[in-house]
Amino acid sequence: MAGILFIISAPSGSGKSTLVSELRKQVSGVDFAVSWTTRAPRGSEEDGREYHFTTREEFLRMVDKGLFLEYAEVFGHFYGTARQSLDDALAAGHDLMLDIDVQGAAQVRAKMAEAVGIFVLPPNPKVLRTRLRNRSRAEGVMDEDELFRRLGQARNEIENYRQYGYILVNDVLDRAVAQLEAIVLSERFYRNGEEIAYRSRRVLEVAAACLQANSQERLKPVLEAFGIDGDSGQQQLPFGDEPDDD
Ligand code: ADP
Ligand code: 5GP
């Protein structure tokens, strides 16, 4: 495609929708792929804006027709990216941002190795819980079971961070937005030779610092807060869960 395909993944509640919507206010030419889902709309979500909401039957019909670039079952519901999103971005010469889970990201990478992966981490589990709670409150729904299901899944998703070229820690929002913007601009610079309008060296430095290869020290405390070994990237067994010796 003429544009660049960005994949952004994160544990639910980390702030990726917020980051993407802030990015799109600052940088033009980035389309957002509106996914299809069988989950019900949340809060102020509108059909066709955050998601295309549909039934399981219709979703499975679309799968049979081969309409999805990728799809996965997440938290008991189907989510998928229509191939049409890619075709539309291509026709417009825009970049495309996919906000998809780690399973969907693996499917896209297998088909399009040139996709740019960005993984967003919350600073620690406590902050993640607070964000999920605040979002539920703001949306007027307080489903504690759903909240704990999403929190419980966070560590498994974070274990996949190594599959992504860039890692953002969404602590201070403005900083994370500036980092995401720097990643998009620097990829446009390196891949398409596109000029960066101002402070170009600084932008390239900020993006380079977010490369996973340059992030190990920065990530270690965040990973460890989620019970993941900061060196091996593997889950550490929580105290008391060690296997028996026999
Ligand atoms: P996701 O799309 O990853 O599930 P959201 O973008 O919906 O997450 O963010 C979850 C909640 O956290 C929202 O209420 C959002 O306003 C809030 N939030 C996002 N980023 C930050 C941040 N850096 N600091 C504080 N709150 C944040
Ligand atoms: P939520 O229900 O909070 O909107 O999203 C739950 C999870 O589904 C998030 O991890 C989000 O990235 C993922 N998701 C949203 N759309 C898609 C999609 O089209 N495909 C896949 N594989 N995951 C998606």
pLDDT at 242: 35
Is residue 146 a part of any domain in this protein? yes
Residue nearest to atom 15 of ligand 1 (CA): 15
Instruction: Answer yes or no: is the C-beta of 35 below 6 A from any ligand 1 atom.
Output: no
Is residue 24 a part of any domain in this protein? yes
Is residue 220 a part of any domain in this protein? yes
Pocket of ligand 1, candidates 34, 131, 157, 172: which has the most ligand atoms within 8 Å of its Cβ, to mutate? 131
Question: 14 — phi, psi (to 5°)?
Answer: -75, -25
The CA 77 to ligand 2 mean position distance, Å, reads 9
Three-state SS string over the chain comes to: CCCCEEEEECCCCCCHHHHHHHHHHHCCCEEECCEEECCCCCCCCCECCCEEECCHHHHHHHHHCCCEEEEEEECCEEEEEEHHHHHHHHHHCCEEEEECCHHHHHHHHHHCCCCEEEEEECCCHHHHHHHHHHHHHHCCCCCHHHHHHHHHHHHHHHHHHHHCCEEEECCCHHHHHHHHHHHHHHHHHHHHCCCCCCCHHHHHHHHHHHEHHHCHHHHHHHHHHCCECCCCCCECCCCCCCCCCC
Residue nearest to atom 13 of ligand 1 (CA): 135
Is residue 56 a part of any domain in this protein? no
Give residue 206's domain range.
Answer: 5-33+94-225
Residue nearest to atom 11 of ligand 1 (CA): 131
Pocket of ligand 2, candidates 46, 101, 151, 158: which has the most ligand atoms within 8 Å of its Cβ, to mutate? 101
Give every residue of the chain whose pLDDT is below 70, as ranges. Answer: 1-2, 142, 233-246
Residue nearest to atom 1 of ligand 2 (CA): 12
Handedness of CA 9, 15, 17, 22 (dihedral sign): negative
pLDDT at 246: 33
Is residue 217 a part of any domain in this protein? yes
Instruction: Answer yes or no: is the C-beta of 12 below 6 A from any ligand 1 atom.
Output: yes
The CA 10 to ligand 2 mean position distance, Å, reads 9
pLDDT at 142: 66
The ligand whose atoms approach the alpha carbon of 17 most closely is 1
Is residue 85 a part of any domain in this protein? no
pLDDT at 175: 97
Is residue 171 a part of any domain in this protein? yes
Instruction: Answer yes or no: is the C-beta of 135 below 6 A from any ligand 1 atom.
Output: yes
| Residue found by looking up tokens 């759903």 in the block | 146
pLDDT at 237: 53
Question: Residues 53-104: pLDDT tens digits?
Answer: 999 999 999 999 999 999 999 989 999 999 999 999 999 999 999 999 999 9
Number of domains in the chain: 1
Could you give the CA distance from residue 104 to residue 117 in angstroms, rounded to a whole number? 12
Instruction: Answer yes or no: is the C-beta of 153 below 6 A from any ligand 1 atom.
Output: no
Lining residues, ligand 2, CB within 6 Å? 12, 35, 39, 70-72, 74, 79-81, 99-101, 103-104
Could you give the CA distance from residue 181 to residue 209 in angstroms, rounded to a whole number? 13
CATH assignment of the domain containing 28: 3.40.50.300
Is residue 49 a part of any domain in this protein? no
